[in-house]
Amino acid sequence: MTQATNDTMNPERELAGNLGLEPTKGKAGKTRWRWVVLVLVILAAGFFLWSRASTGAAPTRYKTQETKKGTISVVVTATGTLNPTNEVEVSSELSGIVKSVHVDYNDRLTTGQMLAVLDSSKLNAQVAQSKAALEAAQAKVNQVRATLKETRRELGRLQNLYVSSNHQTPSRSDLEAAQAAYERAKADEASALAEVAQAQAALEAYETDLGKTTLRSPIDGVVIDRAVEPGQTVASSLQAPVLFTLAEDLTQMELSVNVDEADVGKVRAGQKATFVVSAYPNRTYEASITQVRYGSTTVSGVVTYETVLKVDNADLSLRPGMTATADIQVQTVENALLLPNAALRFTPPVEEAKTSGSLLGSLLPRPPGSPGKKVEENGAGQKSKKVWQLKDGQLTPISVITGVTDGTYTEIVEGGLVPGDAMVVDVALGSK
């Protein structure tokens, strides 16, 4: 009873008994058992493949799309920032305490309008001191001129006496002394006049600095930024601080975008573009390229070129600093024959091995077939591509020469296709 139970629980012994194999013990018995299992698996796989081939596979079905006539536009996409056409930063050349501020954010300005005033107490004192120094210099000029007049008169008297006395009186040394006194008086006058000019220049410098204590707008525009408050100390000893940022005219703005190096060869001044901003996702703005700059910018190995677009902002809906995504129309072809790009990407599936092949060949893996070349070059140096068309249920290759593409459709320059041709784009799901 025990022996029967053990045999039933041991599948190896039961299978060996059914196959008429005597049970063996040890390592040789286990090896024989593994060969038996392997033979059974191969027979089962062969039967499956034979039954599948005998029933026949369902024909492959394909998805198609038709060619059509239409307009295709090649678009280059780039991102950038909106900026005013002319932005001016107003600084202070002087150091001091801000006495008052007369404008705020978004205020509209005219040229010469007062922005802020610095405390001018020290400069007022310096101006007064310079005026006093100028008056002193002018007084000295009057004094020197009186001395000059006196020495000139004395020199003339001695010269007349020398002539009337037949060169006897005065002596030549007295005449030379009078002449020297006159020359010294003339030099003192020139020195006094120079001191007057120096005092005048110092006064004008202080008066100029006094005028700079009042900051005024250099343009007609709008206050974009204000970085100063009353009572704040302005220190301009090392670098002039920016107190106000003004935009000349926000109705006309510039969009600076970064165009990738792969696309910059297609971009030209005068091309039209459209762009959107996050603030108005459902609105499209128009722009035109005014400049494509030669200087490049490299960020993380990506090379881009700054391109400037002119933007009309008459309604003032756009603001400086907004990020915009622009689509630049670099080429447009009208009445072109358009082919879906999916047809250019389609490759026919590799047919299954015929059932007449050997069982071993069906079971063992086969090396992948080498697909035919999709791109060929014709005699004119143009590159042609192969697309597929269904004719009487069979795939028929057609060579075409392509033009521009917008990412969805591609222009067909040559190839014998006509609008409405159904081109294969993919294998239908569940076709087998």
> The whole model's pTM is what?
0.61
Greater pLDDT, 125 or 169: 125
As a whole number, mean pLDDT of residues 427-432 equals 63
Are 137 and 196 in contact, with CB atoms under 8 Å apart? yes
Q: Give me the pLDDT at residue 362, please.
A: 47
pLDDT in tens, 346-392: 888 765 434 444 444 444 444 444 444 445 555 444 568 889 988 87
Q: C-alpha angle with apex 293: 303 to 301, nearest 5 degrees? A: 5
Tokens 């013990």, residue located = 25
Range in 20-34, 302-316, 414-428 the model is least confident about: 20-34
The distance of Cα 28 from the centroid of its chain, to the nearest Å, equals 76
Contact 101, 115 (CB under 8 A): yes
pLDDT in tens, 328-350: 999 888 899 999 999 899 888 76
Question: Per-residue pLDDT for 431 more than 80?
Answer: no
Mean pLDDT of 104-112: 93
Residue 40 has pLDDT above 90, yes or no: no
Tell me what the pLDDT averaged over the chain comes to. Answer: 83
Band the pLDDT of 46: cuts 50, 70, 90: confident
- Rounded to whole angstroms, the Cα distance separating 215 from 375 reads 69
Tens digits of residue pLDDT in 311-320:
999 999 999 9
Tokens of 413: 């320059």
Mean pLDDT value across residues 47-66: 68
pLDDT in tens, 189-247: 999 999 999 999 999 999 999 999 999 999 999 999 999 999 999 988 777 889 999 99
| Residues 285, 276: Cα–Cα separation, whole Å | 6
